Amino acid sequence: MSDIVEKTLTALPGLFLQNQSVSGPAAAKASFSSRLGGLVRGITALTSKHEEEKLIQQELNNLKATVSAPTTTLKMMKECMVRLIYCEMLGYDASFGYIHAIKLAQQGNLLEKRVGYLAVSLFLHESHELLLLLVNTVVKDLQSTNLVEVCMALTIVSQIFPREMIPAVLPLIEDKLQHSKEIIRRKAVLALYKFYLIAPNQVQHIHIKFRKALCDRDVGVMAASLHIYLRMIKENSSAYKDLTGSFVTILKQVVGGKLPVDFNYHSVPAPWLQIQLLRILGLLGKDDQRTSELMYDVLDESLRRAELNHNVTYAILFECVHTVYSVYPKSELLEKAAKCIGKFVLSPKINLKYLGLKALTYVIQQDPTLALQHQMTIIECLDHPDPIIKRETLELLYRITNAQNITVIVQKMLEYLHQSKEEYIIVNLVGKIAELAEKYAPDNAWFIQTMNAVFSVGGDVMHPDIPNNFLRLLAEGFDDETENQQLRLYAVQSYFTLLDVENVFYPQRFLQVMSWVDASLSFLDGFVAEELSQGAAPYKPHHQRQEEKLSQGKVLSFEPYGLSFSSSGFSGRQSPAGISLGSDISGNSTDTGLKETNSLKLEGIKKLWGKEGYLPKKESKTGEETEALPVPQENIIMENVDQIITKNDQSQALTQSKEEKEKQLLASSLFVGLGSESTINLLGKADTLSHKFRRKSKVKETKSGQTTTSQNMTRSSFSSSSNVTYEEDYYLDNFQDRGDKEVKKFSLNSELLDSESLTELPLVEKISNCRLSTPSLFADNNMEVFHPPQSAAASVANEISLTSSLLEETTEHMHSDLMEVCNNETISVSSYKIWKDECLLMVWSVFNKSASELKSANLEMAPAENFKITEQPGCCLPVIEAESTKNFQYSVQMEKPFTEGNLSGFINYQVMDTHSVQLEFSVNLSLLDFIRPLKISTEDFGKLWLSFANDVKQNVKMSESQAALPSTLKALQQELRLHVVDIIGNEGLLACQLLPSIPCLLHFRVHGDMLALWFRSSCSTLPDYLLYQCQKVRAWIDPQLPVPIPCFHPGMTRAFKAECFVSVFLSSRCKKHGKSGGDLVSKDSESPGHLCIVYPKTQS
Amino acid sequence: MIKFFLMVNKQGQTRLSKYYEHVEINKRTLLETEVIKSCLSRSNEQCSFIEYKDFKLIYRQYAALFIVVGVNDTENEMAIYEFIHNFVEVLDDYFSRVSGPSHTQASPYRAASPTCFQAGNQSSRCLC
């Protein structure tokens, strides 16, 4: 033991003596307290855990005897509680004292009560049964005239309170919001915050009171209310946009030093309050230009004010940077924020460096050039002695991984993996490596080797999806049979080599993988071959989806993208058949031209993805290519290349040491592709960053578009279609014979295209042109700028119609049929979906069948994991008259992508004055309910196409080739709500978006009897899902066609995979082929949702 | 969101613990042992933030006492780092002024409280 303890021991008696001498009358009390002192002293003096255990057991036995003795006074009990708290804090069970803690809170005087409450809050947890015994005490104390008692009760409520007892105290606490003492108001707000956390529904009605708390004259009360607001805004920012001004004003006052000095921390005014406010602003300004504009000033001021050299100002700065990058971008602020990040990253203080890396990781996706700027620092951090810094750097690299730098990044990750021992880190890292390897693997050998490394290190702890995905990939293979064979052969060979090494331990799961591969490949070979022969399109990994058939056929039509890059010689590179522009440039295959797009490009890649010779090759080659490239990219790419070159030159000139050169080389290989990719991203940024931005530029285009010829307008479609007069002509031409209402229907609903209107193909395009002008997709604020009369009216109607009758609403929007969800003898509840442009509107129509009126009718939705449900105003009276219908409307937004979801809720009502009746119901929602057409121009399509990383491609067989295109188009448009962007020859471009704003693009092309579908999106799961839906639609067009095996993706949920399999295999026409398929499925059909069908060997 | 707040001395003895989410007693001991182990393994040149399971640990050392805060990943590390210091300043301020009967007032803070936070000043009351 150290001498500190010795000192302590000698000092302690003096300490207590001193206390006693100072406080004569308290001497008696001191004797009790010194027991705790004695206990602490005793424990500190011990040298082993075993001794400690013995001492505490003894102590606990004493305490047990004391607390249960009838002679024990409350004062003694209080002292016992303190020791019990201490024992339990050290990890020894003191549950025998819990009930006494509650009693103490009930019966004691102020001080004893306080200790009792403290003990309760430390001993019990939310669902502890004893907690119910506390409720009465709390209610009593809340009504007390003694402020201290009220405070204590409020404190315990905000710490721990049983959810089901909230109604018992809620009114009392609400009253306290008006209390004259600010401390009571503050504690009441915190208690309500607690309620909001555990039962948000119960405090919904007091939102207006929260607003009062926000404007409270006391800073403490205001600060307390921010907790609630941060939470609520996180869940639904749109409902609180009107408060932006208030938050901005508050932050301005805080930053301007208007708070009392008590709130200063090292002369920084209320730093944690500032951080809280910055977070709230970040959430409010996200994707919302108008709201963001309100906060630019105060953000700028925050960045400026936080110049003081203190840790806490760095914390504020970090939050500020985060907010600046979250809200709608403003270049000045971004610049300042980037500078700030630079300061962090370059700081010698290790904590700041960490903060800088974290900030960089956050902003890297929006601004990859920032990574280029700091590339040397990042390289240094990669070899930092602190593993935490290293890990944060790897996290950053993980975000910028692409097909060019994958080998280097994965190598770095594996290095780290070999060093780490903690399970959590291994699991996390292994998952990331496997994900990257599947996504970007340059060749088979590399892939197998990487996966071998992953299995041998993380085999015991990894997520079971990893081996499953891997085996599936081996089993299903690619489109090229020889390639498959090679991959499998390589895998088996590598396993033999590994197994040959003696005395090496491999994780169980790795051995399973090996044995599975060896033992059952043949079985699956047969299966795969059989399916292939039936026209099934097999799984293709990302890097090999390049299709020979497609590109062999003939030169692609490049017109879809022609508007921005129509230069003929090179347009092949921008077409969907080429890999993305970025990878092409830095991929720098040796020969250019058509031949390249035809082949799989594996040769070029293999050469390049080696470790050697990145830098010089890349520079020269990229330079060449950029020269040949058409206009818009050229400059930017050149800039980026220049940047790299000058950087390299500079540092090379500075030092020629070998080490430095190595770092340079590493940098160039790590950040390869990033420059060119950033070009695309930057290009795309104007488009993808925010819809509104694009919208704005469209207005400009429109202006210029008006001067061009009308033919031109048709070609460039949407940009010019907002020309109102022009559009009206369209209506006249095309819909002359249809009623006014019909026209409206067409212009507002993409889905309502009936079969008549599609008799001639060009019409599809024209209709989609007209449709552009609908308010739809971008629920933004500058909408009114260029809307044609109809849609302006429609958007107004949208708002009004929420309160008005359904009929109006339903004529405007596509809706589902009325379906009864539940009923009883008095009421019948039906529901239907209205697929509104900006959300899904669920309408529950409650029909009162009885002859008497229903009182306090209330319909409530259960909070669902994947959805954000907002009640629409419009039903004010909770009374349903006899034999009448009342509608409840809820708008539903999806929070994270899913395939199937369930929305449940209940309705309760009272007949006359009897007891209330509750009726539960639920409806199913599918992802398709949230898909809306994305109305973009061909040009935008081209840009977006290049900026998306996730793609899925598949060939499907068609029965009759050419005639299938229009009908397929029609089906896709009707069933999936895709938007037909353009049709050129035998190619079609379609676009849709997943609400609120995840775009997905589809390129499809008819070639002979094959239909090549190619999806791209910014979301990894969306393409797979849509592909699956397309296949379903296609089967609907032509039931004779075989349905291919769905292609899988690591991001898919298990349930969805199961659904695919079940639906595919159970379909009758699949069943009659192939015994293996049937067998597998029958196993599954008994327990749907169970995935053993896919990998019988490994799952069991 | 702060998940727990710990004061642990160099010997690995818990001086104060407060959990904001329920953790079973036997798991607490284990967690505290691992937390202090990972804090002790860090040098001055390394940063004050550690990843531990799905928590971030932010720690500060005052003489022989470690104060460790476990947060989830939504938290601003530096803000918590300074929050620890603020907490310590408040404790120091509060307890150094207190004398007489209230000093003996029962409180779990007492065990770890007084001036021992001032690094280097391992005063007579230090219980680290």
Query: What are the tens digits of pLDDT across the range A640-687?
Result: 444 444 444 444 444 456 667 777 777 777 777 665 443 333 333 333
Q: What is the DSSP string of A1013-1067?
A: EEEEESSSSHHHHHHHHHHHHHHHH-TTSPPPPPP--TTS-HHHHHHHHHHHHHS
Q: Of the candidates B47, B81, B124, which has its C-beta nearest A389's C-beta? A: B47
pLDDT of residue A296: 94
Beta strands (DSSP E) in A454-516 are none
The type of residue at A883 is E
pLDDT of residue A709: 35
SS3 A824: coil
CB contact under 8 A, B47 and A353: yes
Q: How far is CA A244 from CA A237, A278, A284, in A?
A: 10, 11, 7
* Token couple for B84: 């620890």
pLDDT of residue A151: 95
Q: Is A1042 left (phi over 0), alpha (psi -120 to 50) or beta?
A: beta
* Token couple for B87: 């907490």
Interface test mutation site (partner B, options A190, A313, A386, max chain B beta carbons within 10 A): A386
Dihedral sign computed on CA atoms, order B81, B83, B89, B92: negative
Q: What is the DSSP string of A601-654?
A: -HHHHHHHTSSS--HHHHHHHHHHHHHHS-HHHHHHHHHHHHHHHHHHHHHHHH
Q: How far is CA A181 from CA A14, A94, A146, A191, A227, in A?
A: 41, 37, 12, 16, 20
Q: Is B45 on the interface with A (CB under 8 A)?
A: yes
Q: Which helix (H) or strand (E) holds A10?
A: helix A3-22
Residues A112 and A77: beta-carbon distance below 8 Å:
yes
Q: Is B72 on the interface with A (CB under 8 A)?
A: no
Pick the closest to residue A310 from A341, A271, A336, A260 (CA basis): A271
Q: For residue B8, what are the β-bridge partners?
A: B14, B66
Partner B, chain A 313-342, Cβ-Cβ below 8 Å: 314-316, 318-319
User: Which residues in chain B have Cβ-Cβ distances shorter than 8 Å to A21?
Assistant: none
Q: Of the candidates A11, A14, A351, which has its C-beta nearest B47's C-beta? A: A351
pLDDT of residue B7: 92
Residues A459 and A485: beta-carbon distance below 8 Å:
no
Mapped to the 3 state alphabet, what secondary structure does A31-59 carry?
HHHHHHHHHHHHHHHCCCHHHHHHHHHHH
Q: Of the candidates B10, B54, B100, which has its C-beta nearest A22's C-beta? A: B100
pLDDT of residue A516: 62
* Token couple for A445: 């050998």
Q: What is the DSSP string of A92-146?
A: ---GGGHHHHHHHHHHS-HHHHHHHHHHHHHH--TT-GGGGGGHHHHHHHHT-S-
CB contact under 8 A, B124 and A391: no
Residues A859 and A865: beta-carbon distance below 8 Å:
no
The type of residue at B48 is S
CB contact under 8 A, B51 and A388: yes
d(CA A604, CA A403): 13
The type of residue at A269 is P
CB contact under 8 A, B82 and A315: yes
Tokens 């602003």 -> residue: A281
Q: Pinpoint the alpha helices (H) of A838-991.
A: 938-947, 964-976
Tokens 């169970």 -> residue: A1090
What one-character DSSP code corresponds to residue A340? H
Q: Which helix (H) or strand (E) holds A852?
A: none
pLDDT of residue A1090: 32
CB contact under 8 A, B105 and A33: yes
Q: CB under 8 Å to A572, separation ≥6 — which residues?
A: A555, A556, A558, A578, A593, A594, A597
What are the φ/ψ torsions at residue B42 (nearest 5 degrees)?
A: -95, 145
* Token couple for A640: 């980026």
Tokens 């003081």 -> residue: A308
Partner B, chain A 258-277, Cβ-Cβ below 8 Å: 265, 271-272, 275
| A501 CA to centre of own chain | 44
d(CA B128, CA A3): 11
Residues A135 and A168: beta-carbon distance below 8 Å:
yes
| A995 CA to centre of own chain | 13
Whether complex ipTM tops 0.90: no
Choice between B42 and A1090, residue whose per-residue pLDDT is larger: B42
Residues A590 and A956: beta-carbon distance below 8 Å:
no
Residues of chain A with pLDDT under 50: 1-30, 519-528, 538-655, 676-810, 875, 961-962, 1036-1053, 1057-1100
- Judged against a pLDDT cut of 50, whether residue B89 lies above it is answered with yes
CB neighbour class for A1062 (10 Å; exposed up to 12, middle 13-18, buried from 19): middle
d(CA A539, CA A568): 33
Q: How far is CA A1065 from CA A1053, A1061, A1090, in A?
A: 18, 6, 14
Report the greatest alpha carbon distance in chain A.
105
CB contact under 8 A, A91 and B81: no
Q: For residue A987, what are the β-bridge partners?
A: A984, A1005
Q: Which helix (H) or strand (E) holds B125?
A: none
Task: Calculate how close chain A gets to B51, using CA atoms only, in Å.
Answer: 7
Pick the closest to residue B109 from A16, A122, A128 (CA basis): A122
* Token couple for A1030: 């397309």
* Token couple for A66: 């004391």
In this structure, are strands A979-984 and A987-994 parallel, antiparallel, or unpaired? antiparallel
Interface test mutation site (partner B, options A89, A160, A283, max chain B beta carbons within 10 A): A89
Q: Is B59 left (phi over 0), alpha (psi -120 to 50) or beta?
A: beta
pLDDT of residue B118: 35
What are the φ/ψ torsions at residue A918 (nearest 5 degrees)?
A: -120, 140
* Token couple for A1020: 């990894």
Q: Pinpoint the alpha helices (H) of A716-828.
A: 718-721, 724-735, 740-748, 761-771, 789-801, 806-812
d(CA B114, CA B91): 7
Pick the closest to residue A750 from A535, A977, A447, A1067 (CA basis): A977
Q: Is B24 on the interface with A (CB under 8 A)?
A: no
CB contact under 8 A, B125 and A11: yes
Residues A379-410: pLDDT tens digits? Answer: 888 888 888 898 888 888 888 888 888 888 88
pLDDT of residue A559: 38
Task: Calculate how close chain A gets to B30, using CA atoms only, in Å.
Answer: 9
- The three-point CA angle A28-A30-A35 to 5° equals 115
CB neighbour class for A480 (10 Å; exposed up to 12, middle 13-18, buried from 19): middle
Task: Calculate how close chain B gets to A36, using CA atoms only, in Å.
Answer: 8
Rounded to a whole number of angstroms, the distance between the first and last alpha carbons of chain B is 28
Q: Is A122 on the interface with B (CB under 8 A)?
A: yes
Residues A342 and A359: beta-carbon distance below 8 Å:
no
**Cα within 13 Å of Cα(A566), Cβ side:** 7
Partner A, chain B 77-106, Cβ-Cβ below 8 Å: 77-79, 81-83, 86, 99-101, 103-106
Radius of gyration of chain A (CA): 34
